Amino acid sequence: MSDSEWQTHNPAGSRRVVVTKQLPGERWLQILTQADCEVAVCTSTQILSADEIRKAIGDRCAGVIGQLTEPWGEELFAALKAAGGKAYSNYAVGYNNVDVEVASKHGISVGNTPGVLTETTAEMAVALTFAAARRVAEADVFMRSGEYRGWLPKLFLGERLTGRIVGVVGAGRIGAAYARMMVEGLKMNLVYFDPFPNQALEEFIAAYSAFLQGRGEGPVTCRRADSVDEVLKTADVVSLHPALDETTHHLMNAERLSLMKENAILVNASRGPVVDEAALVEHCRRHPDFRVGLDVFEDEPEMKPGLAQLANIVMVPHIASATSWTREGMAILAASNVAAVLNGFAAWEENQGVEAFLGDDPPEAAPSIVNAQAVGMATYSG
């Protein structure tokens, strides 16, 4: 990668920070420059290799803001440590690409950007659900290609969602937000699986059900299933929101796909490897009324052979968090993590939320450090 594909801001800064992709907004850059950082930003749209990142780190680098697409393990953390680095922040809430144990071994704090993606990602899962149910992508292609010759009773028949059963696998922040949107918006009944009960979600749906009954309408229900399989067998729509680990890799395999209804809808806006993509291709070929909405893919940016040719799959290129507010918020949090570590600030407590960092008077703290205890960071006390 040539030097022309890197842009330097505040060259007089005493601390050098590498940012491996251009980020939206301006405030993130202000945060770093106010922390006396020289900021080197990669302007290329290509995914950087480990070797390219190592060369960018060079022999002087205090911190890095990197991406989910980059392999942050021994090679890069060793290079960052050797260059005087103390901080790395993933420009994402997930950090499956980061070996946190290796970073901790090198004394490098690892940040992420939670709390600003919740509703935005849930909204995309809802959008994919509607698009799949009502065959929006197919109809769009049909219309643009000039094939429409007039209204027909059976043209692009889809699925009505109101009053049916929505299933959620993984009822954390995003999964619960999706569930609330679908239940409150469409009066759907919820069945969810999560290792831990989501009491707040259950109470919300119980209160909404009481509200409906108070208006003379039928109730909605919420039930925590005993297994993923139970959700798949029961629900008309299933949205996946688990964390990715060894227990959820290929969670949706051929066997589990076969448990779902013939005309069910499967949505994945979590992590690509949660779904066995080859098995999904085969299932969708054999079950044309089965519909899918995908924001993420197993081998991004590649797709498994046959996926792109299936009309019953709606696909978008990993844009669930792609609203200006969210992506700028992520940039602010990532920069705040790095700047705070370099300034010697403490770590923000996870249960306090990160909204304070988006306001005009942010705390002098690192908003989200996943290995704060391992690297000996103090906890912010106000």
Q: Tell whether 174 is covered by a domain.
A: yes
Number of residues that this document lists for the chain: 382
Q: Is residue 298 part of a domain?
A: yes
Q: What is the DSSP string of 134-145?
A: TTHHHHHHHHHT
Q: Are residues 28 and 138 in the same domain?
A: no
End-to-end CA distance of the chain: 43
Do residues 340 and 366 make contact, with C-beta atoms less than 8 angstroms apart?
A: yes
Q: What six digits make up the tokens of 318? A: 């990993």
Cα angle 113-268-311, degrees, rounded to a multiple of 5: 140
Residues 111 and 122 in one domain: no
Any idea what the CATH number is for the domain that residue 60 is in? Answer: 3.40.50.720
Give me the phi and psi of 50, to 5 degrees please. Answer: -60, -40
- Find tokens 């085969």 and name the residue: 282
Distance CA(326)–CA(120), nearest Å, equals 7
Residues 100 and 211 in one domain: no
Count: domains in the chain? 2
Q: Give the span between the Cα atoms of 292 and 281, in whole angstroms.
A: 10
Co-location of 350 and 285 in the same domain: no
Candidates 196, 197, 190, 189; CA nearest to 218 is 189
pLDDT of residue 1: 61
361 within a domain of the structure (yes/no)? yes
Q: 162 and 67: one domain?
A: no
Domain that residue 48 falls in? 3-116+322-366
Per-position b or e across 4-34, b if 16+ CB within 10 A of its CB: eebeebbeebebbbbbbbebbbebbbebbbe
Euclidean distance between CA atoms 188 and 171, whole angstroms? 16
pLDDT given at position 382: 74
Within a domain: 44: yes
- Classified as helix, coil or strand, 380 is coil
Q: Where does a domain end: 279, 298, 315?
A: 315
Question: For this structure, is 159 an active site residue?
Answer: no
Among the options 74, 119, 138, 300, which is catalytic? Answer: 300
Tokens read off for 28: 């993130």
Give me the half-sphere count of Cα atoms (radius 13 Å) on the Cβ side of residue 100. Answer: 16
87 lies in the same domain as 168: no
Residues 185 and 300 in one domain: yes
Strands (E), the chain: 6-9, 15-19, 37-42, 63-66, 87-90, 109-111, 165-169, 189-193, 222-224, 237-240, 265-268, 291-294, 313-315, 346-347, 365-366
Contact indicator for 187, 259 with CB cutoff of 8 Å: no
Residues 239 and 306 in one domain: yes
**Is 378 part of a structural domain of the chain?**
no
Name the active-site residue from 241, 291, 318, 327.
318
pLDDT tens-place values along the chain, 382 residues long: 667 799 999 999 999 999 999 999 999 999 999 999 999 999 999 999 999 999 999 999 999 999 999 999 999 999 999 999 999 999 999 898 999 999 999 999 999 999 999 999 999 999 999 999 999 999 999 999 999 999 999 999 999 999 999 999 999 999 999 999 999 999 999 999 999 999 999 999 999 999 999 999 999 999 999 999 999 999 999 999 999 999 999 999 999 999 999 999 999 999 999 999 999 999 999 999 999 999 999 999 999 999 999 999 999 999 999 999 999 999 999 999 999 999 999 999 876 789 999 998 999 999 999 999 999 999 998 7
Whether 300 is a known active-site residue: answer: yes
Residue 372 lies in a domain: no
H or E segment at 120? helix 118-133
Domain contains 291:
yes
Alpha carbon dihedral 257, 261, 263, 267, in 10-degree steps, equals -50
Which tokens hold the place of 223? Answer: 């039930």
d(CA 76, CA 62): 13
**Same domain, yes or no, for 181 and 270?**
yes
Which entry of 271, 283, 291, 327 is annotated as an active-site residue?
271
Same domain, 129 and 99: no
Amino acid at 264: A
Query: pTM for this structure?
Result: 0.91
The answer to whether residues 36 and 15 touch, using CB atoms and an 8 Å cutoff, is yes
Is 241 an active-site residue? no
Q: Are 152 and 190 in a shared domain?
A: yes
- Amino acid 363 reads P
291 and 338 part of one domain:
no
**Residue 329 belongs to some domain of the structure:** yes
Q: Which of 186, 198, 241 is nearest to 223 (CA)?
A: 198
